[in-house]
Chains A and B, each alone.
Chain A
């Protein structure tokens, strides 16, 4: 049995009166690929943000990679994010004035020291060796998402989070991105938690959980 990387119990997050996440118990083991599915507003992005240390729970306990996220200070959380987590967003969120390679280097900058050669090879690994010097505006959606992947993995995170990473992509780009993630996981052995509403994308994972109105309603293990 592999080590546990994420462990939550009674995890709750409410915004004022609205309860986005009802008490949730969840365990994710190291190296696992977990897909989170649900409708808009079902609390799946909230869960992802909590696990990634982008948001703080209202109640309950949350341990990721042996760290008690509730106990961390604001800057402790920032350190946790850069040491431990890589995030891929649906809207990419690349810095518009930096080139592809510089966007990757920005992540290195926050983590330790920017290293152009390393950033370059990361982009080569995601198949963007020919677009190093392009700005995000000059890249297609799929290419931008691959820059995001390169940026997410550059610091060798233990945990890769995807917030609908393929939500803006067409079918062939989606497949390309997912293939890439699968390959990288085989090499880097990180854990993946990916929020999606696409059954097909969810199927790339080992296990899928379904959230509805902040409650875990169903869990499904893929045949491996």
Chain B
């Protein structure tokens, strides 16, 4: 019989003989490596998931015309009157974004004033589909508007005594629009004092086809930092200013770093503690077999041959435990991401390698240490069971 096959047979025999022990070791190795896999996958996808979550805080880049001033005031404050109107070309922005290859969600805004009953009302043209997706914090009473309908800010509605279902006739420079109020929005922000209508309708009313005052971008900050994206975009849009919204951008970066750090530390703590326990269990079972090691040495096995047998056994356990651990760990990770983020965890095949690695490492770590001490002893003493 071939030596290698015999060796394998020997290993399986040894494992099968001590079913209880083998099961125990497999269980702990699988547990440790499934922990590694689960925590690994969770922290890996945590970054992305949390990044997705923090996008709910709003845009992290804004594009405004070069000559314009930011007159947006957070929290309903608005000093629109002091700035001269300036516009961005919608086509240009779309072009620049396509060329920069930036991965970002965008929403276009046109700010202007429409005349209603002897007064100017600040209005904003938006794409309501974008708004629904990108500004989830809007609290809307009523319905999202269809064509010819409008949404009015809470404060504005109170001030002008507007109600759901009212119809308004607003005069722009170019055209008059008739709008029915389908919803009232409150956000605690500047939106409370504005009237919203579909972007093309406002562009027509003001005679500003294809013009914008503001573009909000939500850049998924990947490997590239936000700052770099902003610079890249700025180069493509010489007639505009690309600003980083520090309130969301900087804070999100800080938060993500913290979450990642936390996950890494938690993973490290759990792995080290579970790992040392597993290696300990492993070594207990090797210590117990010093007699067997002594016998093999007495029979003329060299240290390497005997080492091969026992390490082979450990490695076999490690591989089996690692495979089981990967499957189990992925399931745990899947469960966590499902319950928490209601998204399935990404399938990360290379975690199988990590899982195997952890399990093999622990199995060998647990058996190499005591084996070395057994190997130092002469066979006589190990045979006597000292």
**B383 touches A (CB below 8 Å):** yes
**A28 touches B (CB below 8 Å):** no
Q: Tell me, rounded to whole Å, the shortest Cβ–Cβ distance linking A68 to chain B.
A: 18
**B331 touches A (CB below 8 Å):** no
Given contacts A54-B298, A55-B380, A110-B301, contact A96 B17 (CB under 8 A): yes
Assess the B6–A105 pair: CB atoms within 8 A.
Answer: yes
Q: B294 contacts which chain A residues (CB < 8 A)?
A: 93
Assess the B18–A106 pair: CB atoms within 8 A.
Answer: no
Assess the B295–A93 pair: CB atoms within 8 A.
Answer: yes
How many A-B contacts if CB must be within 8 Å? Answer: 79
**B228 touches A (CB below 8 Å):** no
**B131 touches A (CB below 8 Å):** no
Given contacts A109-B3, A116-B1, contact A55 B302 (CB under 8 A): no
Q: Which of B14, B18, B298 has the most CB atoms of chain A within a 10 A radius of its CB?
A: B298
The answer, among A80, A97, A109, for a CB contact under 8 Å with B14, is A97
Assess the B383–A109 pair: CB atoms within 8 A.
Answer: no
**A83 touches B (CB below 8 Å):** yes
Q: A113 contacts which chain B residues (CB < 8 A)?
A: 1-3
Q: How far is B379's CA from A116's CA once the two chains are assembled, in angstroms? A: 27
**Count of A interface residues, CB-CB < 8 Å:** 34
Q: B302 contacts which chain A residues (CB < 8 A)?
A: 74-75, 78-79
Assess the B1–A110 pair: CB atoms within 8 A.
Answer: no
**A182 touches B (CB below 8 Å):** no
Known pairs A49-B380, A83-B300, A110-B300 / 19 extra A-B pairs, C-beta < 8 Å: A54-B298, A54-B378, A55-B378, A78-B300, A78-B305, A79-B300, A79-B302, A80-B300, A81-B300, A85-B300, A87-B298, A96-B17, A97-B16, A97-B18, A109-B7, A110-B296, A110-B301, A110-B305, A115-B1
Q: List 5 A-B contacts (CB under 8 A).
A: A54-B298, A79-B302, A98-B10, A102-B10, A106-B10
**B residues neighboring A (CB under 8 Å):** 1-3, 6-7, 10, 13-14, 16-18, 291-292, 294-305, 378-380, 383
**A residues neighboring B (CB under 8 Å):** 49, 52, 54-56, 74-75, 78-83, 85, 87, 89, 91, 93, 95-98, 102, 105-107, 109-111, 113-116, 151
